[in-house]
A and B are shown apart, each in its own frame.
Chain A
Amino acid sequence: MFPGALADRDDADYVLLGAPLDVSTSFQPGTRFGPDRVRTFSRTFDDFDHLTAAHFTELGVHDAGDLHAWDDAAEYLDFLGGTLADVRDDGALPLLLGGEHTVSIAGVRACAPATVVVLDAHLDLRREYDGNPLSHSTVVRHALDVAERAVIVGARTGSEAEWERAAADDVTVVPPEEAGEWAPDVEGPVYLSVDVDAADPAYAPGTGTMEPFGLTPREMHRIVRSLAPDCVGFDVVEVNDRDDGQAATLAGKLLRAFVFAHAAADA
């Protein structure tokens, strides 16, 4: 269980679901361990958040465990998306814990946001990768089938075709050097997806495809907190087990920061 996620499913305002999908990771695999890793490294966080004067255990978070993943990504996303839509129908906000970034497609489909904001080192605008249209590097393209606009914060690499796609009106790229000053001016409702590789690999080396010159955890924290009030869904993905817990710690902290900021705005 995610530490402090004590609420019953029926009473929950937030439902956390692990989605340990690990089928298209193209370099270092291990996202299948991501959800448990994040739960483990979130044990040390204080229940009390002084920024919002709230206790995590009192915010109505339920941990629904993991949805066991199998190798048919399309089928998996179908089931996962339905499960997350059930959370929405019950009036709760889904918190998705990856797993590879592909799982965000299910989150976006379930929440049907106007805008998707992605913190990511990569543009993830490929049509396919190695012939796979449901690769982790196609997420934003799939998200744009649902949302009208995508904002990719911290992006610093992509193929030539991806950069061309990113130049279209429905995509905004906020490069890492501008992320510190970026004031979110997005149309709600928003789905926020945090790929932990948005962070500089010095801070979060336990991820599949590290990319230097990234965001600082403090910048990510500020952005997550400022966007949270407009969000209808949230995920943090691409954490694996190939570090000493840095990536999982950052992911767990950002998830908690999201809940605190969202709940404070709701209060």
Chain B
Amino acid sequence: MAKQQTEVRDLQEGSYVMIEDTPCVINAYSTAKPGKHGSAKARVEGKGVFDSKKRNFTQPVDAKVWVPIIDRKQGQVINVDGNDMQVMDLETYETITMRVPDGVDPSSNDEIEYLEYEGQRKIV
């Protein structure tokens, strides 16, 4: 299972959380006090790890949320073919094909670091 459950109160800026079933990194976290009625709430603003789309939610601090377990991996570029490149995972030696992201100009033997979650990958 590539995610685990936690409470909203345990989240913090910079950590990951699932928002709308999408893994996001938290870039703003603020809490509202409850007064005598209601419950303390937290507003969490995140950005999709893989799609960079802004998402947010506001929930009681004791609500349960999912935190994605995102792997940080090392790889070596084997071959670049147009918009695609073959990368060898340096731990498992498995070879995977990745799309070359905008602004990256890889060549063979380059070592890269990437995030992986359920088949989605992003070079960091």
Residues of A at under 8 Å CB distance from B? 67-68, 70, 72, 75-76, 78-79, 82-83, 85-86, 89
Write the nearest CB–CB distance from A85 to chain B, whole angstroms.
8
Given known pairs A68-B32, A68-B38, A78-B30, the reply for A83 and B54 (CB within 8 Å) is: no
Contacts of B33 in A (CB 8 A): 68, 70, 72
Q: Count A-B pairs with CB separation below 8 Å.
A: 31
Complex contact B54–A89 (CB within 8 A):
yes
A83: nearest chain-B partner, CB-CB: B43
The digit string for B92-109, where 1 denotes a CB below 8 A from any CB of A, is 000000000000000000
CA distance A78 to B45 in the complex (A): 12
Query: Is the CB–CB distance between A83 and B58 below 8 Å?
Result: yes
Contact of B32 among A67, A85, A86 (CB under 8 A): A67
Taking a contact as CB atoms under 8 Å apart, the answer to whether A79 and B54 are in contact is: no
C-alpha spacing A187/B71, complex, angstroms:
48
Give the size category of B's interface with A: 10 to 19
Q: Whole-angstrom distance between the alpha carbons of A86 and B56 in the complex?
A: 8
Residues of B within 8 A of A75 (CB): 30-31
Q: How far is the CA of A22 from the CA of B32 in the complex (A)?
A: 16
Return chain B residues, CB-CB under 8 Å to A83.
43, 58
Task: Say whether B82 faces chain A, with CB atoms less than 8 Å apart.
Answer: no
B35 within 8 Å of A by Cβ? yes
Question: Which of chain A's residues has its CB closest to B42's CB?
Answer: A79
> Can you name the residue of chain B whose Cβ is closest to the Cβ of A86?
B56
CB within 8 Å for A79 and B43 given contacts A86-B56, A89-B54, A89-B56? yes
Q: In the complex, A93 Cα to B97 Cα: how many Å?
A: 44
Closest to B34 in A: A68
User: With a CB–CB cut-off of 8 A, which chain A residues contact B58?
Assistant: 83, 86
B63 interface residue per 8 A CB criterion:
no
Q: Report the separation of the CA atoms of residues A192 and B120 in the bound assembly, to the nearest whole angstrom.
A: 44
Question: Nearest chain-A residue to B55 (Cβ)?
Answer: A89
Question: What are some 10 contacts across the A-B interface (CB < 8 A)?
Answer: A67-B32, A68-B32, A68-B38, A72-B33, A78-B30, A79-B31, A82-B30, A83-B43, A85-B45, A86-B56
- B-side contacts of A89, CB under 8 Å: 54, 56
For residue A86, give the distance in angstroms from its CB to the closest CB of chain B. 6
B28 touches A68 (CB 8 A): no
Contacts of A85 in B (CB 8 A): 45
Residues of B within 8 A of A70 (CB): 32-33, 35
Residues from chain A with a CB closer than 8 A to the CB of B35 are 68, 70
Residue numbers in B under 8 Å from A79 (CB-CB): 30-32, 43
> How far is it, in angstroms, between the C-alpha of A41 and the C-alpha of B56 when the chains are bound?
34
Q: Is the CB of A82 within 8 A of B54?
A: no
Q: Which B residues from 22 to 73 make CB contacts under 8 A with A? A: 28, 30-35, 38, 43, 45, 54, 56, 58
8 A-B pairs besides A82-B28, A82-B45 with CB distance below 8 A are A68-B34, A68-B35, A70-B33, A70-B35, A75-B30, A79-B31, A83-B58, A85-B45
